[in-house]
Chains A and B, each alone.
Chain A
Amino acid sequence: MKISFNWLSEYIDLDNFKSNSNELGKKLTDVGLEVEGIEDQKKAWENVVVAKIITKKAHPNADRLSLCQVKVGAETLQIVCGAKNHKEGDWVVAALPGANLPGDFLIKKSKLRGELSCGMLCSEEELGLNKTMDGILILQKEDLKKEESLQEGKNWSDYKNLSDSIFDINITPNRTDCLSHFGIARELSCVLDKTLKKDFPAKTISDKFSAFPIKIEKSNLNLGYSGCVVKNVKIKESPKWLKQRLASVGVKSINNVVDVTNFVMWELGQPMHAFDLQKVNKEINIRKAKKGESLVTLDNKNIEFKGGELIIANESSPIALAGIIGGLDSGVNKDTQDIFIESAYFSPSDIRKTAKVFGIQTDSSDRFSKGSDSSILLQALNRACELIKDLAQAEVEKDIFYHKPPQINNEKINITQKFLEDKLGYSVNMKDFDKWIKALGCQLKVSSSESREVVAPIFRKDLCQPVDLLEEYARLNGYDKIPEVLPSFTGGPGKHNDYYLQNTRLANLCKNAGLLQAINYHFTNSIFQKEFLEFDLLHKTKDLKKYSTYMGGDPVSVLNPLSGDLNVMRLSLLPGLFQNLIHNYNHNQKLGNLFELGTVFNKQENNYNEQNFLSLISWGNKETLWDKSKSPLVFELKGRVESLLKSLNISFKWKVIKDLNLCPDFLHPKRSLALQIRGKLVGYLGDLHPMLLQKHKIRLNVSLAEFNTDLFNLAPTICDSNILTGKYPSVTRDLSVLCLKTLLSEDINQLIKKVAGKDCISCRVFDIYEPKDKEKLSITFRLVVQNSEKTYSEEDLQLLQANIFKNLSDKLGVEIPSS
């Protein structure tokens, strides 16, 4: 909220801070009214001065430009000007080098078509004013006469009386009492220990308001309503002081009456509204709108009521959306003669709901919905009437309408010195407590030397518990008085939760495996996600069932997304990682490995499931000096995953996906695997489908994998000492076989292991060779065997080998090369 230093000074003596607004800003921040910025108007207009044109000549090299000798104080400068409306002897505004005009327009000395220009003559727009003339601003004679001390070189801010500092204060929702200049002054009177300069008398209550009936619907009795009639108003421009006040807080001047209502709101925090009495038309009804009724608001928007919204209506139709915005038709305009001024209190939740429904936010709705001061209605009404009487030469009628708001008094709070000291952690001076609590406007009763009974004023609805008073004491005393003491603890040791432990372990294992950790948003673009997970060659629409069956349900949408790019919760981490790949690929990173650990979401009926996934993506072939390996990328990824799972002590099984219906669409159907742990599907690994690469113009291999880490079953580490105690050495034998390409190497491997039985230490594929002219593949397995009772002799090995070969050939049709 904007607060003007000059305006504030009307209510409290701030002379000490006149040349040091930063100091006042610090004071406000220190008590919880955070000053987010201070705009020093004087500083903003540095090097912008009033000047007189001495001579004006044509520019020798440009028809449209003129060369002006301009007196800007003691010296005269040459300025090149492009406007046509000025002449010798005119008073103008010159921006000299170093000036920074609105819109961050920095003025420098320059040469224009070969002629030196020591600044710029300003137009109204360049000075941030409304445009009333073409070309540069020529100061008018009558303006000039008023300024007795006018001289060349006078600063523009002094000429315009712009020597104000505007504070931008972040008012927290609990401090609605500070949403006005008077409110801030009241707070400062406590902080600075100074009395207020002004008070605001209330309008006298009379009970014979007879201008017209005002009816309040019975169901809306939680409001307060006051108003009175002002006759023969002269609608005109507001005086300069009023315009300036409103301009300082960013409010546009409309006419004297509307400006007064705005002024009173920014002065006292009470939103006001003025109706054209003629449009009130005999009667005011404060009631709920009926379905089908409508209103054109001040900002020329048509509102259709759904029924139930609180409105101000005349005999027949709505004339204002109560507490939010007035109607265009019933507003004050240049032809208005008599007005009705409203000063009301509306229930915050009513205003909030209605403002939200119509998406209208005004200074008025803002204050009502946060909770306005229900005790200030008549003061505000009086202030507005007095000002209008003055500024519009109007007659204020004596009688007022007054429906008292439900002034719920604040409850008594009991508080003790011990309570304050225990919770603050330092010793408390009760004299200070008493002084500040009284200065805040509370009623204070000293029950004993250590205990107090406090009732907060109506405008401080936020003070309702002992801790609230504690905070008042603490902030007025200064938070810097709080000492630093580590807490003591009477409980036992704690333990991080399993999710955190597993997640941290996985992240570090992946890092050690050479992968970079990615973190993407938890929401994504629904179309991108759908087209990735449900990649469909035939472009048939189908739902995400196939992939989400394994995930467990349907995608979860965000009701109010920021954009279409973030409108659905992710079903998988892979679309995000693929987008990261595209980003990196487009930035010439043609090789990379990313992993992400994160939550994915789905919906089953009305339950939202969150599962924790680990996903990996690798792209590009390593082609460094020492690594020209032609091994398919996908086996590098498979290796990484295997080493990760081994590090976690997880026993797992890969399943080659033979049934295409079980293969996720985004995977290459001939290069995909499923991972099983304890017989349960926990994820997939494979190459990305080539059509997806083509679609996004990625000319690289991409392999990826995704696992549900909630299903990882971490086994405890147990040491197998037998491995070390075997007396007899192990022996290694390479077994080469010829087989059809369609046969899975893993099936052969399993059979070899089975035949070798308990002597088998390990068996793995050692080499693959594809003879040029054959349909068959030569695979070499390296078998390691060890017997616990004897050393394997060559004869034993021969026997075992023969047995293995016989089994392979009988059961799998594998050929044994004759060699």
Chain B
Amino acid sequence: MNISDLSKQIEVIYEESLKVFKAASSSKNLYDLKVEFLGKKGKLSLLMGLMSKLPNQDKPKFGSLINVKKKLLEEAYTEYKTKLDLIDLNKKLDQEYLDMSLPGKEIETGALHPIQKVSENIVNIFSRLGFSVRTGNLIEKDYYNFEALNIPKDHPSRDMQDTFYIDDNHVLRTHTSPIQIHTLETEKAPLRIIGLGSVFRSDSDISHSPNFYQIEGLLVEKKVSMANLKGTVSFFVKEFFGKELKTRFRPSFFPFTEPSAEVDCQCSSCMGSGCSLCGQTGWIEIGGCGLVNPKVLKLSNVNKDTENNETDWQAYAFGFGIERMAILKYGIKSIRFFNQNDIRFLSQFK
């Protein structure tokens, strides 16, 4: 056996190997062929075993010859494998075809009731001014709902609020103002609070619900003015509607505030030029407010009399109807929708 014979054999195996690699039908097939030719017990390795029979001076030449071919074959293998892998991958991708126009799996999206959404919205605005939320009972003592707010028994101002009675001494609160009284009694001035919750009036028609929601604010300080009140309400209006809307006060009467005002804001739909939403007036009534009547501050022992001493606490209060704010913000057409809980309505308030 001499080197030229072996070289020829190498050449034969190399050529054969290249041919079958090229003809391989899949990367699995190619891998098997690689094992057959290049594996530990492969054809090329078998030739390697013959090296011992060569004269010593030929061994290095043979070794390098075989290594060169092996390397070339491995390169060829990699080349074909890459091609075959690509074919396989494309086949697999084809098989994995999906009609991507099909709908996605439905993940239910919940929604907050518009009353909840608007309440949180309003609270967040007043939080920025330092106000914090208080809540209270819905069945309230006559005293807290009326008398402490300067609405004595048999007084005409009781007629302003049609009242549901539970017994002689308990009512369903007609406003959130009892929250103010409880806070005045239990917490120390100065104070900035927001009272929030459900209220009741025995009045029901297309624009009145017997059970609705209110939000109100109370600030107790040494110096509180109508200008402060207007500043606060005007800030709120701009933040809530996200527009530079003007705020207007109109004289009014509430037994628990003096002076009292109704609050109008510029109609956000027509920006004040007049439209059907605002009845062509350019203004929309959103709530009431005023400086807290000295009689109320005395009744809840914040001040010891109503003499307007320099050191006395003063206060302002304001209140809004939440449904009204929701109607204005979202364009809700009827108060009927608020308590029907139709899921087609509710699911709009994400």
B180 within 8 A of A: no
User: Which residue of A has the minimal Cβ distance to B169?
Assistant: A606
Known A-B contacts A486-B228, A494-B130, A517-B346; A510 and B250 likewise in contact (beta carbons under 8 Å): no
B129 within 8 A of A: yes
Q: Is the Cβ of B227 less than 8 Å from the Cβ of A516?
A: no
A248 within 8 A of B: no
Task: A491 to B339: give the CA distance in the assembly, Å.
Answer: 39
B105 within 8 A of A: yes
Stretch from A556-564, A731-739, A752-760 at the B interface: A556-564
Q: Is the Cβ of A173 less than 8 Å from the Cβ of B112?
A: no
A594 within 8 A of B: yes
A465 within 8 A of B: yes
Chain B nearest CB: distance from A430 CB in Å?
A: 18
Known A-B contacts A174-B253, A517-B113, A589-B343; A425 and B225 likewise in contact (beta carbons under 8 Å): yes
Task: A511 to B248: give the CA distance in the assembly, Å.
Answer: 37
User: Which residue of B has the minimal Cβ distance to A598?
Assistant: B198
Of A173, A352, A562, A599, the residue contacting B202 (CB under 8 A) is: A562
A: number of interface residues (CB 8 Å) = 94
A581-604 interface bits toward B, Cβ cutoff 8 Å, 1 = contact, 0 = none: 001100101001110000101000
Task: A560 to B168: give the CA distance in the assembly, Å.
Answer: 11
Near B by CB (< 8 A), chain A positions 503-541 give 504, 507-508, 510-523
Q: Is the Cβ of B225 less than 8 Å from the Cβ of A517?
A: no
CB-defined contacts of A174 to chain B, threshold 8 Å = 157, 253
Task: A32 to B288: give the CA distance in the assembly, Å.
Answer: 13
CB-defined contacts of B308 to chain A, threshold 8 Å = 419, 466
Q: Is the Cβ of B116 less than 8 Å from the Cβ of A610?
A: no
Of A349, A369, A497, A608, the residue contacting B166 (CB under 8 A) is: A608
Q: Is the Cβ of A610 less than 8 Å from the Cβ of B137?
A: yes
Known A-B contacts A32-B252, A601-B139; A471 and B258 likewise in contact (beta carbons under 8 Å): yes
B151-179 interface bits toward A, Cβ cutoff 8 Å, 1 = contact, 0 = none: 00011110110001111001010000000
Stretch from A65-73, A446-454, A621-629 at the B interface: A621-629
Q: Is the Cβ of B221 less than 8 Å from the Cβ of A489?
A: yes
Of A352, A468, A504, A514, the residue contacting B258 (CB under 8 A) is: A468
Most buried by B among A31, A504, A512: A504
B232 within 8 A of A: yes
A-B contact count (CB 8 A): 258
CB-defined contacts of B198 to chain A, threshold 8 Å = 522, 599
Q: Is the Cβ of A34 less than 8 Å from the Cβ of B250?
A: yes
Known A-B contacts A425-B228, A485-B228; A474 and B251 likewise in contact (beta carbons under 8 Å): yes
Known A-B contacts A352-B156, A471-B258, A507-B112; A489 and B192 likewise in contact (beta carbons under 8 Å): yes
Q: Is the Cβ of B224 less than 8 Å from the Cβ of A521?
A: no
Of B157, B261, B347, the residue contacting A173 (CB under 8 A) is: B157
User: Which residue of B has the minimal Cβ distance to A624?
Assistant: B106
A452-468 interface bits toward B, Cβ cutoff 8 Å, 1 = contact, 0 = none: 00000000000001111
Q: Is the Cβ of B202 less than 8 Å from the Cβ of A175?
A: no
Q: Is the Cβ of A34 less than 8 Å from the Cβ of B166?
A: no
Q: Is the Cβ of B231 less than 8 Å from the Cβ of A487?
A: yes
User: Could you list some 17 contacts between A and B, CB below 8 A?
Assistant: A34-B250, A173-B157, A352-B156, A419-B308, A465-B294, A474-B226, A483-B231, A487-B224, A487-B316, A508-B112, A516-B343, A517-B113, A522-B198, A562-B202, A577-B341, A580-B341, A627-B106
Interface residues of B, Cβ cutoff 8 Å to A: 102-103, 105-113, 115-116, 120, 123, 127, 129-135, 137-139, 154-157, 159-160, 164-167, 170, 172, 189-193, 196, 198, 200, 202, 204, 210-211, 219, 221-228, 230-232, 234-235, 247-253, 258-262, 291, 293-295, 306, 308, 314, 316, 338-344, 346-347
